[in-house]
Amino acid sequence: MLIHSASQLLTLAGGPQRGHALGTLGIIQKGAVVVRDEKIVAVGTTDELRNAYPDEPTLDAGNCVLMPGFVDPHTHLIWAGDRANEFEMKMGGMAYLDILAAGGGIISTVKATRTASMETLIAQTRPRLLRMFSHGTTTAEAKTGYGLRTSTELRLLKALLALDDESPLDLAITFLGAHAIAPEYKDNPQGYTDEVANTMLPMLKEWWETHAPRLPLPFVDVFCEAKAFDLEQSRQILTQARSLGFPLKIHADEFANIGGASLAAELGAASADHLVMTSDAPFGLAECHYTPARKLIDADAILALATDCNPGTTWNESMQFVIALACRAMKLTPAEAIAATTINSAHAIRKADTIGSIEVGKQADMLILSVPDYRQVGYRYGTNLVKQVIKRGRVYSVDVGYYRTA
């Protein structure tokens, strides 16, 4: 298939964009792409590729932007129920970690999730996933973490594997058994830490090798935070995970800076996530409620953006909204935010060699937007600008909140 007549083809070619390289879109005006068998086989101008592939079936991009599909590198996609009541409490002034300490927060979602069947979990998660897809997310990371005991954590993994199988969107799965101290261990956080490190992780490895032998091992993540797992407990879990061969992620410095970002660097984690309160060494903290993205760029970090979609802190399914917010709150340009949600976020889940850009040999995961200029992304919000999603070479026309094969 020859996709032609893109006003701007954003290739994002050249690999993850570190520091001030962020925002290199690699634009081809009047761009075109040839796709065969799920893969990109040619990238160029419409004139060039029409000449080179005269007999190829065509898809007209209609003088709109053609860009890589969004990669959402951090979500807590699978849970049961909602926490609209706590949202009201928070807007009334109560702090997130105080709600958690009072047995609400993550723990209230854990209660709802533990009692939900596989079918219920899948039925409640599926529409979120499809809405993400219709808003242009072609790959998403998805964490467990609302089970906090082996049986439920494994049910969440099973449900995620089933959703990955049935849906057009690809999932990169993460085990987050260390998302909060399980209620059974309320007064014994070290006991739960030992349980995760010494019992759950070895069991997970065995389970994964039987249930998903063809997939790479999942990431292992820890919520490293004052009222969750302290630095030493986080180190214990992540070190054990690493010795079992799992790639690592970490929730670091979200509410308090207790050293999680440095731990991520020390252990070679694939990403350190949140970093809202990361200290002056090495990145510098502006007293703000958003991650100091510009300082991370100045410090030569590879910046990626995610929805963090979860029922507690942010139920947002749209990477387009993330971009709009990052432009305004973190002072990113649209080009920087686009790179941070495609090639760089692919890098954060260690998939930058297969997705995140439009280059020959890569998986054909692309978006045709309904606008002619990439700067409309970020400028506009609250409206879905995605017209068509191309996933592994298949074209899906997006209607509001749903998708169908073209």
Q: Which residue lies nearer to Fe ion by CB, 223 or 396?
A: 223
Instruction: Give ∠ CA 281-348-32 in degrees, rounded to 5.
Output: 130
Residues 227-256 that bind ligand NIG (CB under 6 A): 251, 254
Residue 181 touching ligand NIG (CB under 6 A): no
Structure token digits, residue 16: 């993850």
**Which of Fe ion, ligand NIG, none binds 236 (CB below 5-8 Å, type-dependent)?**
none
Distance CA 165, CA 299 (A): 39
Shortest Å, Cβ 100 to ligand NIG: 8
Q: Could you tell me which of 259, 185, 187 has the C-alpha nearest to residue 222?
A: 259
Pair of tokens at residue 385: 């600008």
- The span from the CA of 130 to the CA of 400, in Å, is 11
**195 vs 308 by CB, closer to Fe ion:** 308
Which residues, listed in sequence order, are joined to residue 279 by a DSSP beta bridge?
none
Q: Is residue 177 close enough to count as binding ligand NIG by CB under 6 A?
A: no
Helix 118-134 and helix 150-166, axial crossing angle in degrees, nearest 10: 40
Binder of ligand NIG out of 76, 235, 249, 295 (CB under 6 A): 76
CA 405 – CA 394 distance, rounded (Å): 8
| 125 contacts: CB under 8 Å, gap ≥ 6 | 77, 78, 79, 159, 163
Q: What angle do CA 277, 147, 341 make, to 5 degrees?
A: 45
To the nearest whole angstrom, how small is the minimum distance from the Cβ of residue 254 to ligand NIG? 5
Q: Which is nearer to ligand NIG, 228 or 398 (CB)?
A: 228
Comparing C-alpha atoms, which of 100, 76, 72 is closest to residue 86? 100
Amino acid at the residue 190: Q
Residue pair 27/11 in contact (Cβ under 8 Å)? The answer is: yes
Contacting ligand NIG (CB under 6 A), which of 313, 320, 342, 344?
Answer: 313
Near ligand NIG by CB under 6 A: residue from 16, 312, 334, 356: 312
Q: Which of 70, 185, 219, 223 binds ligand NIG (CB under 6 A)?
A: 223
295's contact among Fe ion, ligand NIG, none, with CB below 5 to 8 A by partner kind, is none
342 binds, among ligand NIG, Fe ion, none (CB under 5 to 8 A by kind): none
Determine the interface stretch with ligand NIG among 35-43, 195-203, 306-314, 345-353 (rule: CB under 6 A).
Answer: 306-314
Q: Which residues bind Fe ion (CB under 5 A)?
A: 308
Size of the site for ligand NIG (CB under 6 A): 12
- Answer yes or no whether residue 310 interacts with ligand NIG by CB under 6 A: yes
251 versus 391: smaller Cβ distance to ligand NIG:
251
CB 390 within 8 A of CB 366: yes
For ligand NIG, the binding residues (CB under 6 A) are 76, 105-106, 109, 223, 251, 254, 308, 310-313
